[in-house]
Structure 1
Amino acid sequence: MALSFNNCSTFMICIILLLPAFSFGTENYYSKATFYKTSDGKGTPTGACGYGEHGRYVNDGLVTTASWKLYKNGAGCGACYQVRCKDEALCSNEGVKVVVTDSGEGPGTDFILSSDAFAKMAKHPKLAHMLFPKGVVDVDYKRVSCKYGNLKIKINEHSNYHGYLAIVPFNHGGYADIIAIEIYDVKSYKWIPMRRSYGAVFDLANPPKGDLKIKIQIKEAGACGYGEHGRYVNDGLVTAASWKLYKNGVGCGACYQVRCKDEALCGNEGVKVVVTDSGEGPGTDFILSSDAFAKMAMHPKLAYRLFPKGVFDVDYKRVSCKYGNLKIKINEHSNYHGYLAIVPFNHGGYADIIAIEIYDVKSYKWIPMRRSYGAVFDLANPPKGDLKMKIQIKEGEKTKWIHSDKAMIPDYWKPGSIYETDIQIP
């Protein structure tokens, strides 16, 4: 039976932005790109990421400055994007893979490419001279893996062995952002946080002497932290949500029924999507995966007419995801000896998870976990043994705690493992 929106108290009007459908997958976005000139067509040694001369030649000079939302105050440095211009007469279907080495934007642009990278978007090198006069072009883009080897650490030239250390990590894979770095002090047995000086540069006054161990905190692509699970949840019928629906991560996992208002093209039922990321365009509340966008069509054969419109008026309402029991995934960056990060998923979708606590049998106390980002909760030095948890949820204006008498996470848990609980969240 088709879902009725007429009597829904959460009925609202919004705009929906297309994630274009082409061979890169389901996480594509629409924007504009332009270019900047250097003497050799490659990058710049003075970029906002702090790569210096390395910034000129990384990825063979196929680099870009990124808009503020992609630069992320430096956390976006080193990210790789596949960028494809939309002029079918001039541009190839593959586009160009670029690395973020600087920050900058023009009117409506997310990328200012090196001239070598801009030319690479052309269908053939001989067509590049026709691409440059356009100046600004419409593009599709998505974040991709850089496919590097091991991470490298450069000691910034302004470092001083006697009292100041500044480092620049690079060659990271590109899917994840580096958001924090700490150095271990063998004398105090403590990890010392470094400061993000600017861009990709982290520094520390009076660093420890001797060989230095470091640990790096990363944030996976997808603001909810679902990782690979985020690609396949709900058969790929997923969405990025505006800030008001993302709720600083509390909205992760929520389900919405979304129906576009073009009666000639769109079905009455619409599509049920799950929030796995954060993002919005002008006036939009949802950025759907291309599979989900196509699903709104009245008939699959009409989907090709839906995509060119790009932005739609829609109705939406929050609905139940109709899952079974809650599941807990141990984040891959967890360490049994000192750090636990978890990602709850498969909750019903009507209620938001707003807090999680773990029971310590030694102290007879509940220990609050921290919302690290999105749906990821973490805790340093977690208790050993089987772990009981309680989860605080909010449904409407009411909050309550849900827990089980059974342990939700077994002793000797392993990073990457998924454990099914015996509770259900509405």
Structure 2
Amino acid sequence: MDPSISCCFAAATTVALLLLIASPAATADPVGAGGWEDAHATFYGDETGAETMQGACGYGNLFEQGYGLATTALSSALFNDGWSCGACYELQCQNSTYCKPIGGGASVTVTATNACPANYSKPNENWCNPPQRHFDLSKPMFMDLVTDFHVGIIPVKYRRVPCVKSGGVRFEMMGNEWWVAVLVYNVAGAGEVRAVAVKGDRDGWWMDMHRNWGQIWDGDARLIGQGLSFRVTTGDGRAIVFDDVVPPTWTAGQSFKSNQQFVGV
């Protein structure tokens, strides 16, 4: 190989690796990869799912927001400091006498809506400590995998899958007259959101927002009284512009539905 070509190739490879490492949204199990990985699963809460509401992703009433009981909290290794919020996973029970047969429902697809926190004071007891991959399911999802929920914990295999959602992407407004914040939810396709930008109908320019925590994004701008458009980019790099999805009369706490959605993989 020509030394100059070899040098350029090495430099390009180094830059690509640095960009991949620097990206907070990079994931080891992208949608559509198809490979199964090993993990474990438990559950929290009861059959009603009341304990699964709210959580570390910033979602609220999961029934009203379209997620229902098909949800999971992720261990630290999978949660990725909140960048995995909204991602969808298929789980199958494996290697346990408590597993239901596949035909009997021993496979579930869930959306990541919460974190299962690490407890470093108990390094040998907490399944959510890194580097372990663990799913803390709602109880109904766990019961779909096993014949007796008293087993408590089971080995599973899992893979990332595209999210299937009803209706368009939704936006819940937060913030006040001094700054704007939004919860982006009900996102299909890749599920997790990588970037958000907002534009007021009077300002007319796009402002990149910053992920505050979970899927709550904020920006230092006074946008009260302006109709808002959002540009949302998901974890697979696709972006949609939601023009005028929020009217000028918006107030904090209101939610707005778009008529656009990410589909496919």
Q: TM-score, normalised by structure 2?
A: 0.71
Q: State the match for 2:153 in structure 1.
A: 311
Question: Do the aligned partners of residues 351 and 345 (structure 1) sit closer, same or farther apart at CA in structure 2, a change above 3 Å counting?
Answer: closer
Q: State the match for 2:231 in structure 1.
A: 390
Q: State the match for 2:100 in structure 1.
A: 266
Instruction: Tell me the matched-pair count.
Output: 214
Question: Do the aligned partners of residues 293 and 390 (structure 1) sit closer, same or farther apart at CA in structure 2, a change above 3 Å counting?
Answer: same
Question: Structure 1: which 5+ residue stretches go unaligned?
Answer: 1-6, 28-219
User: 1:422 deviation in Å?
Assistant: 2.3
- Report if the CA contact (8 A) 1:253-1:349 is conserved: no
- Report if the CA contact (8 A) 2:75-2:135 is conserved: yes
Question: Do the aligned partners of residues 329 and 24 (structure 1) sit closer, same or farther apart at CA in structure 2, a change above 3 Å counting?
Answer: closer
Q: Which amino acid aligns with 2:155?
A: D
Q: Does 1:325 align with 2:168?
A: yes
Q: State the match for 1:401 in structure 2.
A: 239
- Report if the CA contact (8 A) 1:257-1:272 is conserved: yes
Instruction: Give the secondary structure class of the aligned counterpart of 1:347.
Output: coil
CA distance in 2, matches of 1:346, 1:232: 7
- Report if the CA contact (8 A) 2:93-2:155 is conserved: yes
CA distance in 2, matches of 1:284, 1:409: 38
CA distance in 2, matches of 1:267, 1:13: 18
- Report if the CA contact (8 A) 2:71-2:112 is conserved: yes
Instruction: Give the secondary structure class of the aligned counterpart of 1:295.
Output: helix
Q: Does 1:18 align with 2:62?
A: no
What is the correspondence of 1:46-85 to structure 2 with a 5 Å cutoff? Answer: none
CA distance in 2, matches of 1:325, 1:23: 26
Q: State the match for 1:127 in structure 2.
A: none
Instruction: Give the secondary structure class of the aligned counterpart of 2:68.
Output: helix
Q: Which amino acid aligns with 2:168?
A: N
Q: State the match for 1:236 in structure 2.
A: 69
- Report if the CA contact (8 A) 1:271-1:292 is conserved: yes
Q: State the match for 2:116 in structure 1.
A: 279
Q: Does 1:352 align with 2:192?
A: yes
- Report if the CA contact (8 A) 2:49-2:139 is conserved: no
What is the correspondence of 1:21-32 to structure 2 with a 5 Å cutoff? Answer: 21=46, 25-27=50-52
Q: Which amino acid aligns with 2:228?
A: L
User: 1:12 deviation in Å?
Assistant: 0.2
Instruction: Give the secondary structure class of the aligned counterpart of 2:228.
Output: coil
Question: Structure 2: which 5+ residue stretches go unaligned?
Answer: 1-31, 118-125
CA distance in 2, matches of 1:226, 1:330: 12
Q: Does 1:366 align with 2:206?
A: yes
Q: State the match for 2:256 in structure 1.
A: 419
Question: Do the aligned partners of residues 341 and 229 (structure 1) sit closer, same or farther apart at CA in structure 2, a change above 3 Å counting?
Answer: farther
Q: Deviations over 1:205-245 (max 9, x none)?
A: xxxxxxxxxxxxxxx95101112237874322211012233
User: 1:9 deviation in Å?
Assistant: 3.1
> Percent same amino acid at aligned positions?
22
Question: Do the aligned partners of residues 26 and 233 (structure 1) sit closer, same or farther apart at CA in structure 2, a change above 3 Å counting?
Answer: farther
- CA RMSD of superposed structures (Å): 2.7
- Report if the CA contact (8 A) 1:341-1:376 is conserved: yes
Q: State the match for 2:56 in structure 1.
A: 223
Q: Does 1:251 align with 2:89?
A: no
CA distance in 1, matches of 2:200, 2:65: 34
Q: Which amino acid aligns with 2:181?
A: A
User: 1:287 deviation in Å?
Assistant: 0.6
Q: Which amino acid aligns with 2:239?
A: W
Which has the higher relative contact order, 1 or 2, with Cα contacts under 8 A spaced 6 or more apart?
2
Over alpha carbons, which structure has the higher Rg? 1
Q: Deviations over 1:238-295 (max 9, x none)?
A: 1101223322222111111111113653242411111111115423421111121112
Q: Deviations over 1:144-172 (max 9, x none)?
A: xxxxxxxxxxxxxxxxxxxxxxxxxxxxx
Q: Which has the higher strand share?
A: 1
CA distance in 2, matches of 1:24, 1:251: 21
Q: Which amino acid aligns with 2:86?
A: G
User: 1:24 deviation in Å?
Assistant: 9.0
CA distance in 2, matches of 1:232, 1:421: 13
User: 1:370 deviation in Å?
Assistant: 1.6
